Structure 1
Amino acid sequence: MKKLSMPHDALYKSFLKDIDIAQEFLQLHLPLYLQKECDFNTLQLVSGAFVQSNLSQRFADIVYSVNSPDGQDKLYILMEHESTASALPPFKLSSYLNGIMQQHLEQGHKQLPAVFEMIFYRGERPYPGPTNYLNCFKRKQLAQKRLGLPASVKILDLPTIPDEEIKRYKRMAALTLAQKYIGTQNLMQFAPQLAELLQCYPLPVEKLRQLIYYLVEEGRGDDGLFLQFLMENVRQCREDEEMKTLGQFLRDEGREEGRREGWREGQRKGEQLKALAIAQNLQNLGLELDTIKRVTGLSDLKGFA
């Protein structure tokens, strides 16, 4: 059985392209003033592919549209996933903003829409980059006067979000916790918290499988022991046939790796014994210890007189 790869960015997109999960997430993270302008029953995933003037394409991670409560207006929500703090994230988003607005005009609208931007940052250290367009400029005061630059981009900075806060994220909580710790902790260190979240907020089976494959593929530590823990403590994992198959595969892989390691250890010990025998013969011939070490490659000759 081949383990499926589920990179950080792909897992994020998979979860937030689910409209129900996205609605939960946005109702937690959008400012209240903006939520009052949204009829979440009209939330709709829209294309994030934009053709630029030079005919090159840009691809935003997640773009949603949502109507105003009176149905007379539409706004857009742009959500980007970042694993590293690129040089100027707000400037990067500006090209997507232009694409979203152009797409809106091409649908027959006469005025530009409001767009709210959000960055989901899962780096190993707190987010170090600029959070607004103004800080992307060298001459900030001049840029502010000339352009009237907008407020800061919302940054969900995973390294700084307390675990207790993450538990409020409902079905996005498991993914958020996983991406917070995937590069810094052994899988078993956060397994109990993850199991608790999966029990409280069961995921669609496809999303659950993607999350587990991601953790097994990208995580640190004994993935067989980690999956066994989840299967013992999360009913949904325990009852899924694909998880059982993956668990058996990991156990078999672990046993095979143990056999290979045992064989390698035996080889090392055999080679060491041969070197010691050669060292003993060289000593019997009257060679000095320094010479014996150079010839055999042994650094420890305790017991040799």
Structure 2
Amino acid sequence: MKKRPHSTPHDSLFKRFLRDNETARDFLDIHLPPALRQLCDLSTLHLESGSFVEDNLRASYSDILYSLQTSKGEGYIYVVIEHQSTPDSHMAFRLLRYALAAMQQHLNRGHKALPLVIPMLFYHGTISPYPFSLCWLDEFPPDSPAKQLYLGAFPLVDVTDIPDDAILQHRRIALLELVQKHIRQRDLSHILQQLVEVVLMGYTDHQQFKTLFTYMSLHDNSADPDNFIDQSAAI
């Protein structure tokens, strides 16, 4: 979290109130949604230093981060106040980015698990009520598969769990996958024939083959490079 060298009048006013623990507890006790309020032990509220707001946006936004204990372990509440009169239509995504930055800071301090970070927006703009959704997934088009993607596990290509015979059917990517699957083994000679078979399929261009050979050499495996070259001579 960056230190903030300069402040605006808006920022000074916001911080004057919400840096006071008793005032902050009142604010959070009143404005946290009931389900989240029940999770939070506000008596453990602690002000954290610094800011996640980008330097060029400090005239438009102020932020403040609190750590506290929740019923599920250590957590944070992150409050942003929007000073500009016209609200940001991408504020939900901005809050998500700042919340992720707070999570990263938590990990950087040596913690192993991600913490719960509750982002909140304090709004006092000219349009009332606040006109935008604060669910960042609503920023995608209505027919977007974003919710299905981002609410589930991300795609994984685990070559360590793919049989070699299946990898050989993967056309232009087969050579990369086969080498990467076995590169941590000291001796690659046991897959030499498979490597040659893939190369002879004709999917690998000269530069890819050259890069592959250099890569294998750098890893100091005991596969015989001359043998590999001899068997690949038909390329």
TM-score calculated relative to the size of structure 1: 0.41
1:129 maps to 132
* Distance (whole Å) between structure 2 residues aligned to residue 49 and residue 6 of structure 1: 14
Distance 1:112 1:57, change over 3 A: farther
* Distance (whole Å) between structure 2 residues aligned to residue 131 and residue 140 of structure 1: 18
Unaligned residue ranges in structure 1 (runs of 5+) = 150-305
- Which letter does structure 1 place at the counterpart of 2:31? H
* Distance (whole Å) between structure 2 residues aligned to residue 43 and residue 112 of structure 1: 19
Q: Is the 8 A contact 1:91 1:133 kept in 2?
A: yes
Cα deviation for residue 104 of structure 1 reads 0.8
Matched, 1:119 2:121: yes
2:45 maps to 43
- Which letter does structure 1 place at the counterpart of 2:20? D
* Distance (whole Å) between structure 2 residues aligned to residue 102 and residue 6 of structure 1: 27
Cα deviation for residue 29 of structure 1 reads 1.1
Matched, 1:145 2:143: no
- Which letter does structure 2 place at the counterpart of 1:26? L
1:80 maps to 80
Cα deviation for residue 60 of structure 1 reads 5.9
- Which letter does structure 2 place at the counterpart of 1:67? Q
Paired-residue identity, %: 41
Q: Is the 8 A contact 1:51 1:99 kept in 2?
A: no
- Which letter does structure 1 place at the counterpart of 2:74? K
- Between structures 1 and 2, the one with greater helix share: 1
- Which letter does structure 2 place at the counterpart of 1:131? L
Q: Is the 8 A contact 1:48 1:60 kept in 2?
A: no
Q: How does 1:196-211 map to 2 (within 5 A)?
A: none
* Distance (whole Å) between structure 2 residues aligned to residue 40 and residue 12 of structure 1: 19
- Which letter does structure 2 place at the counterpart of 1:65? S
- Which letter does structure 2 place at the counterpart of 1:128? P
2:127 aligned counterpart, secondary structure: coil
Cα deviation for residue 140 of structure 1 reads 5.1
- Which letter does structure 1 place at the counterpart of 2:81? H
Corresponding residue to 1:28 among 27, 30, 46: 30
2:92 aligned counterpart, secondary structure: helix
Cα deviation for residue 117 of structure 1 reads 1.3
Distance 1:57 1:102, change over 3 A: farther
* Distance (whole Å) between structure 1 residues aligned to residue 35 and residue 44 of structure 2: 18
Distance 1:86 1:42, change over 3 A: same
Deviation string 1:211-230 (CA, Å, 9 cap, x unpaired) is xxxxxxxxxxxxxxxxxxxx
2:118 aligned counterpart, secondary structure: strand
1:102 maps to 104
2:145 aligned counterpart, secondary structure: helix
* Distance (whole Å) between structure 2 residues aligned to residue 89 and residue 137 of structure 1: 13
Q: Is the 8 A contact 1:104 1:113 kept in 2?
A: yes
* Distance (whole Å) between structure 1 residues aligned to residue 35 and residue 132 of structure 2: 26
Cα deviation for residue 13 of structure 1 reads 2.1
Unaligned residue ranges in structure 2 (runs of 5+) = 1-6, 153-235
* Distance (whole Å) between structure 2 residues aligned to residue 45 and residue 121 of structure 1: 21
Q: How does 1:41-80 map to 2 (within 5 A)?
A: 41-50=43-52, 61-68=63-70, 73-80=73-80
Q: How does 1:129-278 map to 2 (within 5 A)?
A: 129-138=132-141, 141-148=144-151
1:125 aligned counterpart, secondary structure: coil
Cα deviation for residue 57 of structure 1 reads 11
Deviation string 1:172-198 (CA, Å, 9 cap, x unpaired) is xxxxxxxxxxxxxxxxxxxxxxxxxxx
* Distance (whole Å) between structure 2 residues aligned to residue 15 and residue 140 of structure 1: 42
* Distance (whole Å) between structure 2 residues aligned to residue 50 and residue 8 of structure 1: 17
* Distance (whole Å) between structure 1 residues aligned to residue 57 and residue 121 of structure 2: 20
* Distance (whole Å) between structure 2 residues aligned to residue 132 and residue 44 of structure 1: 27
- Which letter does structure 1 place at the counterpart of 2:139? C
